[in-house]
Amino acid sequence: MAVRTRSELRRIDQAQTVHDKRSFGIAIFTIVVLFFGLVTFMNPIFMKSQNCKGKQRSSS
């Protein structure tokens, strides 16, 4: 097995930390987008207003 120096291990650790932070950020962004999308489209008041707009367009 190859022996790694401390500087190599530190560099690998820093790269892993950057990768982990990026992955965590993407996961949080995805969760927030899904949450706000669900809150918007599951809101009955919003959907009633959207249905009314759709019916006005189709009858014109």
User: Three-state SS across the chain?
Assistant: CCCCCHHHHHHHHHHHHHHHHHHHHHHHHHHHHHHHHHHHHCCHHHHHHHHHHHHHHHHC
What's the pLDDT band for 59 if we cut at 50, 70, 90? Answer: low
What's the one-letter identity of residue 29?
F
* pLDDT surpassing 50 at residue 1: no
State residue 55's pLDDT score. 67
Q: What is the pTM of this model?
A: 0.64
Confidence of residue 34 (pLDDT cuts 50, 70, 90): very high
Note the pLDDT of residue 16. 95
Dihedral in degrees, nearest 10, Cα atoms 30, 34, 40, 43: -150
Residue length, the chain? 60
Q: Work out the average pLDDT over 13-34.
A: 96
